[in-house]
Structure 1
Amino acid sequence: MAISANRLELLSIARSVAYEKNIDEAIVIEAIEEAISKAARARYGADHHIEARINPKSGELTLKRKQTVVASQDEVENPSQQIPLSVAKRIDPSVEVGHVFEEDLPLFDFGRVMSLTGKQVITQRVREAERDKQFEEYKDRVADIINGIVKRVEYGNVIVDLGRGEGVIRRDQTLPRENLNMGDRVRCYIYDVRREPKGPQIFLSRAHPGFMAKLFEAEVPEVYDGVIEIKAVARDPSSRAKIAVYSHDNSIDPVGACVGMRGSRVQAVVGELGGEKIDIIPWSPDPATFIVNALQPAEVTKVVLDEDENRVEVVVPDEQLSLAIGRRGQNVRLASQLTGWSIDILTEEEERSRREKEANSRTELFMGAIDVDEMMARLLVSEGFETIEELAYVDLGDLLQIEGFDEDVSAELQARARDYLERAQQELNARRAALGVEDEVLGLPGVTLEIAIKLGEGDVKTVEDVAGLVSDDLRGWFEVKNGEKTRFPGLLEGMNMSVEQADALIMAARVAMGWVEAPVEEEAVEEAELAADGQD
Structure 2
Amino acid sequence: MENLALIDSFSEFKDDKLIDRVTLMAILEDVFRNALKKKYGSDDNFDIIINPDKGDMEIWRNRVVVADGEVEDPNQEISLSEARKIEPDFEVGEDVSEEVKLIQLGRRAILALRQNLISKIHEHDNTNLYKQFKDIIGDIYTAEVHHVRPKAVILVDDEGNEIVLPKEKQIPSDFFRKGDNVRGIIESVELKGNKPQIIMSRTSELFLEKLFEQEIPEVFDGLIMVKKVVRIPGEKAKVAVDSYDDRIDPVGACVGMKGSRIHGIVRELGNENIDVINYTTNTQLYISRALSPAKVSSIKIDEATNRAEVFLKLEEVSKAIGRGGHNIKLAGLLTGYELDVIREGNAAEDEDVELTEFSDEIEGWIIEEFAKIGLDTARSVLNQDVQDLVRRTDLEEETILEVVRILKEEFED
Pair 104,273 (structure 1): closer, same or farther in 2 beyond 3 Å:
same
- Deviation, structure 1 residue 254: 0.9
- 2:341 counterpart of 1:337: no
In structure 1, C-alpha distance between the alignment counterparts of 2:339 and 2:173, rounded to whole Å = 30
- Equivalent position of 2:109 in the other structure: 114
CA RMSD of aligned residues (A): 3.2
In structure 2, C-alpha distance between the alignment counterparts of 1:153 and 1:198, rounded to whole Å = 24
In structure 1, C-alpha distance between the alignment counterparts of 2:288 and 2:97, rounded to whole Å = 81
Pair 190,106 (structure 1): closer, same or farther in 2 beyond 3 Å:
closer
In structure 2, C-alpha distance between the alignment counterparts of 1:64 and 1:253, rounded to whole Å = 76
What is the TM-score of this pair, normalised by structure 1?
A: 0.54
Q: Which runs of 5+ in 1 are unaligned?
A: 68-78, 84-90, 93-100, 351-536
Do 1:28 and 1:122's aligned partners in 2 also have CA atoms closer than 8 Å? no
Summarize the alignment of residues 308-347 of structure 1 with structure 2, pairs less than 5 Å apart: 308-347=304-343
AA at the equivalent of 1:62: I
- Equivalent position of 1:248 in the other structure: 244
- Equivalent position of 2:158 in the other structure: 163
The match for 1:32 among 9, 12, 28 is 28
In structure 2, C-alpha distance between the alignment counterparts of 1:42 and 1:81, rounded to whole Å = 12
- 2:297 counterpart of 1:295: no
What is the TM-score of this pair, normalised by structure 2?
A: 0.68
AA at the equivalent of 2:242: Y
- Equivalent position of 1:463 in the other structure: none
Summarize the alignment of residues 265-414 of structure 1 with structure 2, pairs less than 5 Å apart: 265-348=261-344
Deviations 1:303-359 (A, max 9, x none): 222333333222222332222112221111111222222222222369xxxxxxxxx
- Equivalent position of 1:150 in the other structure: 145
Q: Which runs of 5+ in 2 are unaligned?
A: 65-72, 78-91, 347-413
- Deviation, structure 1 residue 124: 0.8
AA at the equivalent of 1:158: V
In structure 2, C-alpha distance between the alignment counterparts of 1:184 and 1:145, rounded to whole Å = 16
AA at the equivalent of 2:317: L
Pair 119,335 (structure 1): closer, same or farther in 2 beyond 3 Å:
same
- Deviation, structure 1 residue 205: 1.1
Pair 182,344 (structure 1): closer, same or farther in 2 beyond 3 Å:
same
Do 1:315 and 1:346's aligned partners in 2 also have CA atoms closer than 8 Å? yes
Do 1:246 and 1:254's aligned partners in 2 also have CA atoms closer than 8 Å? yes
- Deviation, structure 1 residue 102: 11
Do 1:14 and 1:29's aligned partners in 2 also have CA atoms closer than 8 Å? no
- Equivalent position of 2:184 in the other structure: 188
Pair 60,116 (structure 1): closer, same or farther in 2 beyond 3 Å:
closer
Do 2:102 and 2:110's aligned partners in 1 also have CA atoms closer than 8 Å? no
Deviations 1:252-304 (A, max 9, x none): 11111111122111111111111111111111122221111011011212222
In structure 2, C-alpha distance between the alignment counterparts of 1:129 and 1:61, rounded to whole Å = 24
- 2:58 counterpart of 1:61: yes
- Equivalent position of 1:234 in the other structure: 230
Do 2:301 and 2:309's aligned partners in 1 also have CA atoms closer than 8 Å? yes
Deviations 1:466-520 (A, max 9, x none): xxxxxxxxxxxxxxxxxxxxxxxxxxxxxxxxxxxxxxxxxxxxxxxxxxxxxxx
- Deviation, structure 1 residue 247: 1.8
Pair 217,102 (structure 1): closer, same or farther in 2 beyond 3 Å:
farther
- Deviation, structure 1 residue 198: 3.4
Paired residues, number: 318
Pair 104,218 (structure 1): closer, same or farther in 2 beyond 3 Å:
same
Do 1:65 and 1:103's aligned partners in 2 also have CA atoms closer than 8 Å? yes
Do 2:36 and 2:43's aligned partners in 1 also have CA atoms closer than 8 Å? no
- Equivalent position of 1:2 in the other structure: 2
Pair 296,81 (structure 1): closer, same or farther in 2 beyond 3 Å:
farther
Deviations 1:63-86 (A, max 9, x none): 55899xxxxxxxxxxx99999xxx
Bigger relative CO (Cα 8 Å, ≥ 6 apart)? 2
In structure 1, C-alpha distance between the alignment counterparts of 2:289 and 2:234, rounded to whole Å = 22
Once the two structures are overlaid, the 10-residue window that deviates more, 188-197 or 56-65, is 56-65
**Greater share of helix:** 1
- Equivalent position of 2:352 in the other structure: none
AA at the equivalent of 1:2: E
- Deviation, structure 1 residue 152: 1.5
AA at the equivalent of 2:301: L
In structure 1, C-alpha distance between the alignment counterparts of 2:189 and 2:236, rounded to whole Å = 28
Q: Percent identity?
A: 33
Pair 312,198 (structure 1): closer, same or farther in 2 beyond 3 Å:
farther
Do 2:156 and 2:162's aligned partners in 1 also have CA atoms closer than 8 Å? yes
In structure 2, C-alpha distance between the alignment counterparts of 1:349 and 1:127, rounded to whole Å = 71
